[in-house]
Structures are given as C-alpha cells and as structure tokens.
C-alpha cells in the first residue's frame, strides 16, 4: 500500500474568515436550522446584541432596537459608537477590540473580540455603521470580504452602532428564526439589565424587578409555595421560590448577562451555598436533595474577565471573581449565608413553608428508597445488555465536549421503526431508545411510578435526569413516532411523562417532534419527499405526467437508506414549547385527565375545522 506524501504543499495557513467558515462549530456551536434555541443563527444574533448590552452596562444607551425581516437582522444601539478609525478592524481582524482594555469595558460578556468577526464571516451580507461626534462611517462585507469602506461623513443621527446581517444559507441551510426563542433571549437581557428597553419588531421589553420578573415569568402564582425571595448585592443577584407541584430543581444562571445554560462554577457554588445556609438556619443536617427539591431559582453574577468553557459561553469555568475579589465559590457562599439567612429570620412564614417542603421531600425520598435501588439496578442491567438503548459515541473521551450540542436521543416505538433509525443514524451523535407498546398515562401519579414502570425508569436512566437536567446526556430529545392516531397518542403520553416529572426538559428547549414524510413522489429522474398533502399535490404537478406515489404508513416502512436523509442534513424538527400563560397542571388536567364535556367540545370543534380545511 502506497504511503501518502506529506510535503510543504500539505501545509496551509488560513486567514481569519476561512478558519471561521471551515470550523464554525468552534465559534458558534452547532449550526442547525433554527428549531433549537442554541442553533447558530441565534448565537449570531446574541453576539451582536452582547456588544450593545456591554454599552448599556457601561452607562451608554438605554434602548436597543432589533428588526428581523426576510432573514435580514438589524441591531441598533445608542451607545458610544465604535471609534471611526477602527470600524473595519473590529469586525474583520482577530484579536482586535475594546474588550481588551478593562478601562473601556468592565465585566463584559465578550472579552476575546471574536463575536462580530464570526457573524461577519458567516453572513452573506454584513454591514456595520458607527455614529459618534456627529460623524458616520460604515463598512459592508460579504462572507467576510470587505466590499465597501465608506469615507467619514457628517450626520445628524444619534450616536451608536448599527449592525445588519444575513446569515449565509450555504452554512445555515433552510434556516428560520423563531420568535419564541428570540423573545426568551431578549427577556433574559432585560431581566438582567433593569432600565434597559429592547424593541423587537415594534414590541418593547422592559423589566423593573430583574430576576424576580424572570421567576414570575417562569412559574405561575398558584404554583409558588411562597412569595419570591429577591436579594441583590453589588455583583450578585438571586431570586428563589419553591414549586408546589414540580419535582426537580430548576436553575436560571447568568454571568455578565450571559445565560449559562450549562451552569458552571457559579451554579455549583450556589447550589452548595443554599444547602449550607438552610442547614445552618434550621440547625439540622437535611439531605441536600431534600432541600433543593422543587426549587425554582435564578442567580446572576458579574466577574472580571470570565473564562467560559467554549466560545458560545454556556458554562462558566472561572474560579475567581477577578481583581482583588475572592473566589467565585466563597463570594457566593458569603452572600447567600448573610442575605438569605437574614431574610429567613425576618420572614418566619417563608422559613416555615420551606421547612415543611423539606420534611415532605424527606418523607417521599424515604418511601422511594427501596424501589429506587431496585430500579437503578434494573436500569444498569438493561443498559448492560443494550435492550432498550442504542447509545452514541458522543460520551466517549474528548468527543463529549466537542459535539455535545449535537447529541440526540430518538425515542421511538416498535422494533421496525427503531431498527430503521438505528441502521441509518450517525453513531457518533445519535442514540435510539426503543419503547415497547404505549407508555402509561402517568397524569396525577406520584414519582413512584417512574421507578416502578420499566419504560419510564429506563428512559430516566438513559437521559440521566433523576436529579434534573444539569447532567442531561443528550442535548436534543426527539420523539419519533408514526404519523397516525397511535403515534400521536404515544407522543401525548410521553409529553405527559416529561411535563409531570421533568418539565425543565421542555422549558429549557431540549424536546422535539421528528417530522417524517407522508409521501414519496418520484419518476425516473427525480424523487420528492412530501410532508403534507399540499406538498404531495405540488410534487405531482412538478413531476408530470404520472409519477409513482408511495404513502408511508409508518416509520418501519421507510428503508434505512431513505431514513438517513430524514435524520441527517434534511432533518425536520418541531420544537415542543410551553405557553407561559397556561399552567402545566391545567394543561395536563384538560388533555390527559378525566373525559370532560369541555374536552369533548374542544375535540369536536377542532375536528370540524380540520374537515372544513380538507373540503376547501
């Protein structure tokens, strides 16, 4: 076998934009089509907004305007504006930016000067405008290449910076911005920056009460065990309550305005300090899990020059607050110990409610102790023999960090469907969990059923969500069932399971429904897969005169060779989202509770609407 030649011709040097386009995952995480909140198109938006937020934090500009139309994004702030002589450099030269000078930017989100360069390199069109001292300068780029470098001109416009861009469809294929994800991001920004107004497509977002408003947004009043505890310090803010119905812990953590969805050193320290303070306040060595059970809380800290574990900044790695300040752990511990302890002494009713919740959790844990051990042993044995779970390689070695955001678990029903997905999946990032028949309707049941029911117990073990989502093994959980009545029923039963026991999986944007084609329309030259009746009609018209039409009745009928397209680059996922105006208890009661006249009327009315649409 001939050896490959390794010469000087094999050595290449990439310029800044080539490297970003060749390895976009290093800069913006996964690419995606916009169906997931951590897809690259939202990271591009966030990188631009972060610069405007840093201006607000430095006391410059109280309004940020964002417009998204026909895939073009525009972000306008009224901050200090980029120094006009550096407008081109700060968006096109690596290791260039104001964040390196701590006098100009203190406790900023972006410190490495990479964000807007990544947006520039990954956009088919990119324009930056800066206005300061009644002068304006702009520059236009295409995939990072400078197209226009304007002269400085006089202007009467208000000072600030405006960035416009269109993500490159060669990188982000068939993408679509979802307003729900953008609005959630923008609300987090205003919660963390009281006094800031963000105007998104004419809708304004503003917060007066910071993290207290965030918790009020995420937990209905009727589900709060006690009024929100809201405590603030110079570089720290926390808000705390307990849910009456939720089983697991729910954390919203932030560093310098960045939503650290994967937690980090600050979240770990906060969880530890809550336990320590509660134990000392009551003088009892309660179990940590009993103290934190059902907690819904948020923490935001500000750190000098934070160190994150990736460019997307979803997990804090810093151990120090910066400067002369103590470690992150001791700073948070001291704050919680002082402020939360004082609050509980001044509010005995809240303290009593928390203690009752802890005692209740302790009782429930002891009741489940025996069955939990049996269930865990059963789960380990089942995983050992690989009966339910076909795992992926993302959990092995260095690949875990590199491709964790791409990790996906398909939950499917039946051997034929799981067989097709197993044979056609990407074994590096895609795993398959096979259900046997329909899951149990667990609405109204206690968590005991999670351990007693084999399907639920093994699913919980596969996802590693017994103690919450902090160590969730798969970033994307995809329900893959047939597009028939039975398949829809299985979807509802699985969603009931997650909403009842692990709602944070859905709240945090990890849950999706796999869309698979209903029809295949083809002739000798072309094959078109159709996901709806409308697409089928359109395909028939395109492939005249008489194409072959196949109706897929179930996932098991789709060959592995075909299936690899539907779970590969052409995957279509519908995110499962919660309507914040409806409580989970009311939602489950209506759809999964006893058959009521209201539900019967709802089904009849919606069936009538669908029939009317078919007739039309």
| Euclidean distance between CA atoms 517 and 260, whole angstroms | 36
CATH assignment of the domain containing 57: 3.30.565.10
pLDDT of residue 310: 62
pLDDT of residue 350: 96
56/88 same-domain check: yes
Query: Is residue 574 included in any domain, yes or no?
Result: yes
Query: What stretch of H or E contains 268?
Result: helix 265-282
pLDDT of residue 228: 96
Residues 135 and 7: beta-carbon distance below 8 Å:
no
What's 388's DSSP letter? S
| Euclidean distance between CA atoms 608 and 616, whole angstroms | 12
140/173 same-domain check: yes
| Euclidean distance between CA atoms 125 and 144, whole angstroms | 9
427/284 same-domain check: no
| Euclidean distance between CA atoms 388 and 62, whole angstroms | 53
Which pair of tokens denotes residue 222? 């009727």
pLDDT of residue 72: 94
- β-pair partners for 551: 519
288/416 same-domain check: no
pLDDT of residue 611: 42
234/347 same-domain check: yes
Residue from 130, 139, 183, 204 nearest 165 by CA: 139
DSSP conformation letters of 433-448: EEE-SPPP--TT--TH
Query: Is residue 372 included in any domain, yes or no?
Result: no
pLDDT of residue 382: 59
**In angstroms, how far is CA 596 from the centroid of its own chain?**
35
Query: Is residue 4 included in any domain, yes or no?
Result: no
| Euclidean distance between CA atoms 539 and 474, whole angstroms | 36
538/594 same-domain check: no
Residue from 12, 5, 31 nearest 405 by CA: 31
221/130 same-domain check: no
189/280 same-domain check: no
Residues of the chain with pLDDT under 70: 1-14, 95-114, 308, 310-313, 318-325, 378-387, 397-402, 607-616
Query: Is residue 375 included in any domain, yes or no?
Result: no
| Euclidean distance between CA atoms 182 and 176, whole angstroms | 12
93/21 same-domain check: yes
Which pair of tokens denotes residue 309? 């574990």
CATH assignment of the domain containing 437: 3.40.50.670
pLDDT of residue 342: 96
| Euclidean distance between CA atoms 542 and 548, whole angstroms | 13
Strands 408-413, 476-480: pairing kind? parallel
User: Between the CA of residue 156 and those of 132, 377, 444, what are the distances in Å?
Assistant: 10, 72, 63
Measure the CA dihedral 130/136/142/145, to 10°: -90
DSSP conformation letters of 593-608: SS--HHHHHHHHHHHH
Q: Which domain holds residue 507?
A: 386-516+554-581
Query: Is residue 415 included in any domain, yes or no?
Result: yes
Residues 124 and 50: beta-carbon distance below 8 Å:
no
3-state secondary structure of 614: helix
Final residue of a structural domain among 315, 331, 364: 364
pLDDT of residue 399: 64
101/142 same-domain check: yes
pLDDT of residue 275: 95
Residues 127 and 147: beta-carbon distance below 8 Å:
no
Look-up: residue for tokens 């006098």? 103
pTM, two decimals, is 0.82
Query: Is residue 159 included in any domain, yes or no?
Result: yes
Which pair of tokens denotes residue 30? 């996964």
Residue from 450, 260, 458, 286 nearest 358 by CA: 286
Neighbours of 181 (CB within 10 A): 21
- Per the structure, how many domains does the chain have? 5
Which pair of tokens denotes residue 477? 């959980």
3-state secondary structure of 316: strand
34/182 same-domain check: yes
DSSP conformation letters of 73-126: EEEEE-SS---GGGHHHHHHSTT-SGGG-TTT-SS-S--SS-HHHHHHHTEEEE
At 262, phi and psi to the nearest 5? -100, 10
293/345 same-domain check: yes
**In angstroms, how far is CA 497 from the centroid of its own chain?**
20
> Does the bond joining 545 to the residue before it have cis omega, within 30 degrees of 0?
yes
pLDDT of residue 318: 60
């Amino acid at each position: 076998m001939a050896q490959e030649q390794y010469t000087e011709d094999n050595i290449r040097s990439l310029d800044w934009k080539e490297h970003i386009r060749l390895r976009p995952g290093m800069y913006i995480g996964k690419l995606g089509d916009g169906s997931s909140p951590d897809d690259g198109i939202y990271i591009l938006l966030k990188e631009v907004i972060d610069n405007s937020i840093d201006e607000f934090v430095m006391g410059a500009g109280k309004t940020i305007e964002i417009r998204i139309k026909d895939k073009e994004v525009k972000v306008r702030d009224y901050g200090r504006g980029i120094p006009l002589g550096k407008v081109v450099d700060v968006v096109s030269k690596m290791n260039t930016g104001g964040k390196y000078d701590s006098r100009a930017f203190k406790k900023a989100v972006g410190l490495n000067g990479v964000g807007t360069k990544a947006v520039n390199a990954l956009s088919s069109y990119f324009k930056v405008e800066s206005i300061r001292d009644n002068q304006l300068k702009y520059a236009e780029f295409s995939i990072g290449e400078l197209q226009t470098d304007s002269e400085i001109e006089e202007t009467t416009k208000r000072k600030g910076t405006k960035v416009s861009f269109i993500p490159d469809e060669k990188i982000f294929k068939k993408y679509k911005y979802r307003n729900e994800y953008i609005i959630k991001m923008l609300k987090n920004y205003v919660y963390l920056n009281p006094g800031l107004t963000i105007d998104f497509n004419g809708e304004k977002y503003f917060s007066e009460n910071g993290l207290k408003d965030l918790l009020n947004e995420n937990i209905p009043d009727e589900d709060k065990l006690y009024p929100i505890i809201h405590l603030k310090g110079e570089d720290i803010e926390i808000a705390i309550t307990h849910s009456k119905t939720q089983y697991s812990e729910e954390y919203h953590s932030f560093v310098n305005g960045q939503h650290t969805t994967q937690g980090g050193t600050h979240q770990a320290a906060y969880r530890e300090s809550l336990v320590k303070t509660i134990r000392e306040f009551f003088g009892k060595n309660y179990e940590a899990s009993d103290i934190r059970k059902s907690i819904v809380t948020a923490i935001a800290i500000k750190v000098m020059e934070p160190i994150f574990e990736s460019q997307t900044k979803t997990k804090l790695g810093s151990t120090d607050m910066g400067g002369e300040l103590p470690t992150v752990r001791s700073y948070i511990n001291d704050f919680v110990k002082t402020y939360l302890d004082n609050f509980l002494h001044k509010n005995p009713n809240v303290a009593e409610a928390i203690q009752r919740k802890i005692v209740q959790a302790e009782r429930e844990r002891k009741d489940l102790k025996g069955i939990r051990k049996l269930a865990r042993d059963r789960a380990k044995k089942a995983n050992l023999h690989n009966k339910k779970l076909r795992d992926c390689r993302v959990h092995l070695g260095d690949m875990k960090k590199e491709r964790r955001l791409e990790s996906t678990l398909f939950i499917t029903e039946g051997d034929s469907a799981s067989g097709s997905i197993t044979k056609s999946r990407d074994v590096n990032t895609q795993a398959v969990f096979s259900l046997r028949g329909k899951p149990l309707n667990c609405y109204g049941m206690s968590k005991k059923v999670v351990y007693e029911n084999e399907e639920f117990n093994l699913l919980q073990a596969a996802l590693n969500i017994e103690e919450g989502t902090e160590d969730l093994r798969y970033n994307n959980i995809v329900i893959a069932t047939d597009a028939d009545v039975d398949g829809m029923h299985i979807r509802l039963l699985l969603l009931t399971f997650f909403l009842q026991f692990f709602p944070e999986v859905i709240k945090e944007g990890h849950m999706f429904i796999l869309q698979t084609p209903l029809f295949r329309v083809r002739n000798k030259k072309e094959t078109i897969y159709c996901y709806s009746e409308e697409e089928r009609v359109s395909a028939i018209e395109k492939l005249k005169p008489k194409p072959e039409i196949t109706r897929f009745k179930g996932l098991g009928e789709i060959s592995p060779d075909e299936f690899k397209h539907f779970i590969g680059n052409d995957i279509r996922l519908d995110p499962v989202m919660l309507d914040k105006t409806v409580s989970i208890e009311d939602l489950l009661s209506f759809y999964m509770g006893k058959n009521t006249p209201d539900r019967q009327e709802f089904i009849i009315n919606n069936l009538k609407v669908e029939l009317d649409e078919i007739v039309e």
